[in-house]
Structure 1
Amino acid sequence: MNIVVFLPSLIGDAVMATPTLRALRRGFPSGRLSIVAKPNVAPVLDGLDWFDETILFHPRSKLREQRTPALIRRLRGDRPDAAVLLPNSIRTAWIARLSGIPRRVGYDRYARGWLLTDRLAPPRDAAGKLLPCPIVEYYLGLAHVLGCPGEGVRLELATTPANEAAADEACTALGVDPSAGLVCLNTGGAFGPAKAWPAESFGVLARRLAEESNVSVVVLCGPSERDEARKIVALAAHPRVASLADRALSLGLSKAMVRRADLLVTTDSGPRHFAAAFGTPVVTLFGPTRIEWTRTNHPNAIHLYHPVPCGPCQRPVCPLGHHLCMKNLNPDRVFDASRRMLSGRRRPRASLRPGTEELTWRPG
């Protein structure tokens, strides 16, 4: 069986697709499994060995070999038996059909059902309204169509030796000893600014963690978030608070930092799912997004949100301009949740390879 899987376009969603990839590999151990991924998303799966090939694709790439015509030619030459379409887009369904893939598995959304051979109906209520469903389970439904029941919804990632070396170098340069206690903070999110927690609040939290919990605090960031990370460090004004803003950034570095952390405090964004995959305790700050969509069944997680009459709105920018769902999430409340997570015994460190160590840490 030759299967190509179109991955989601967001990093967090790609992590939530790992149970589906695992199920397909277990279901077809001697088959060929390829993934189609955006160049900025593909590295999140580095270190996993479930697929045979990664095909980079972005319809607006500057590189011709990563655009749609090149992908269609590539797939016509590879002649997959089936395409599993994790994104709900009509574009991926068109590409699969134009590539001559005989079996096309996906959800019947956005008027693309006629392009699919195996159409799944998304969960809806009696009135036809889409019901919130954990994305992990939503994706796994596509693997079930191909006869792959999977092994549960556990997220799984790996780090490479290069990732770990980058994290070692960063910790040394920042004067951080993870064995003495490390909390990572993550501020970003590709979804949009509505998910952001104010830098001032992160600064208060970082200082309290360093002073009262006696841990080192490292602010993670992406290339567009360097200034925000620097601002948080300046606001915290504490020698044990640092950031990756002046490092060579990569998804691998972020994964390795989360893997070795005792706690991650994050917005509802990609690195939140790194924590679930590595067994790292996590406090997630929710605002405009619904928890039901991204539930991961991580046992060492606390979800915090400040209820507002207008939320959760599922909008990337606050439509009312006040952003109270995140602004009114008090730093003291986040610190109390973080302290509870840190009060338990130190968890065993996740190994470089996934699935080789049972993580049994529980908060006190």
Structure 2
Amino acid sequence: MPLAKNAYASILLMPPNWLGDVVMAQPAMRALAEHFPDARIELFGHAWLQDLTPFLNLGKASFCAAPAPCEAAFILRNSFHAAWQAWRMRAANRYGFRHEGRGILLNHALQARINMKNEHHREYFLDLIEQAGIPVSQRQVNLHAPEVERLLGEVLLTEHGLDVEKVICIAPGAQFGGAKRYPHHAYARIIAALAEQGWQPVILGTDAERNIGTDCLQNVAAASWNAAGKTSLRQALQIIANTRLMLCNDSGLMHVAAGLGRPTIGIFGATSPERTAPSGQHVSLLYQPADCSPCLARECAVEGQPCMQNITPETVIQHCLRLLTH
């Protein structure tokens, strides 16, 4: 039964825990925000969610580190702890999937109809929203960079000696594990070739990935910036809003760039595009599976990481230049 648009005046929205999953959940969260335009909607989660919220295109919804009691909670995480948090925060109506025995804490415990092992994660989150009685009009990710955020990114790039019109972003890491990472030496060859064409590379990532960024830029003499570990998530998003190209592994920043409409190349190996392909009109996905793909492992157990070795640097360069010249 459809929920009335005035059913709830205050809503707690609990997005998933990983950056990429939050972006893939954006269509579901957007549907909720559109259905309850007058409600107070608070997003509750990791502190970095505050940096992402302005880009999620969710109307008046805002991040809140300490949510007030609310009439309804929509729990897009699967953990028992998340359901317990919603119950402890005195959310009167708690919507979520039955998982890890947490049904006792949910007075709207729903049964997932989407199998995340072989169906797209976007549809999993949309399934929850639709079963809750909320109509969905847009099933693709549609992020938005406010103009002030884009301008701040432009200033940041200029301060580091870069020409905004020539910036390309590379995110060679993947917090999930090494099995999702394209080899550093291959990235170095690709980046050097693009730099020779006049493009100015910016490496994005965490402080733990800074050495990877250094390796990737070792053959670049032109203007460049290893920004891994040197920006907040919000600053990284501001930079992405200005980039001419995003080249990366299957990662959260891949989903952000594609969702913002930036030309994006995603390299897949241990994971499958069938489950986590990003939304976007200017997206090129490279996937040459080995016999063991997709293993979904954090670290590769096969010598030589064949799923990544099957994708040559020359192939990646061709795809990059195709997106950069169209």
TM-score, normalised relative to structure 1: 0.79
2:113, 2:127 within 8 Å by CA — same for their partners in 1? no
Cα distance, 1:252 vs. partner?
A: 1.7
CA distance in 1, matches of 2:254, 2:280: 10
- Per the alignment, do residues 159 and 224 of structure 1 end up closer, same or farther by CA in structure 2, a change over 3 Å counting? farther
CA distance in 1, matches of 2:111, 2:149: 39
Structure 2 unaligned segments of length 5 or more: list them: 1-7
CA distance in 2, matches of 1:186, 1:201: 13
Pick one of 171, 175, 179 that aligns with 2:157. 171
- Per the alignment, do residues 227 and 170 of structure 1 end up closer, same or farther by CA in structure 2, a change over 3 Å counting? farther
Partner of 1:43: 51
Give runs of aligned pairs for residues 1-364 of structure 1, distance below 5 A: 1=8, 2-46=10-54, 48=57, 50-56=59-65, 78-123=68-113, 131-159=117-145, 163-164=149-150, 166-179=152-165, 181-211=166-196, 213-234=197-218, 236-245=219-228, 248-320=230-302, 322-344=304-326
TM-score, normalised relative to structure 2: 0.88
- Per the alignment, do residues 114 and 9 of structure 1 end up closer, same or farther by CA in structure 2, a change over 3 Å counting? same
Of residues 219-228 and 267-276 in structure 1, the stretch that sits farther from structure 2 once superposed is 219-228
Give the partner amino acid of 1:301.
Answer: V
Runs of 4+ with >6 A deviation:
none
Give the partner amino acid of 2:226.
Answer: S
Of residues 156-165 and 86-95 in structure 1, the stretch that sits farther from structure 2 once superposed is 156-165
3-state SS of paired residue (1:260): coil
% same residue = 26
Cα distance, 1:130 vs. partner?
A: 5.7
- Per the alignment, do residues 190 and 221 of structure 1 end up closer, same or farther by CA in structure 2, a change over 3 Å counting? same
Structure 1 unaligned segments of length 5 or more: list them: 57-73, 345-364
CA distance in 2, matches of 1:188, 1:151: 34
3-state SS of paired residue (2:174): coil
CA distance in 2, matches of 1:88, 1:117: 15
Q: What is the CA deviation profile of residues 67-122 of structure 1, one whole-angstrom value per residue up to 9, with x for unaligned ones?
A: xxxxxxx66xx332211111111111122233332322112233333332223323
2:12, 2:74 within 8 Å by CA — same for their partners in 1? yes
2:12, 2:43 within 8 Å by CA — same for their partners in 1? yes
Cα distance, 1:163 vs. partner?
A: 4.2
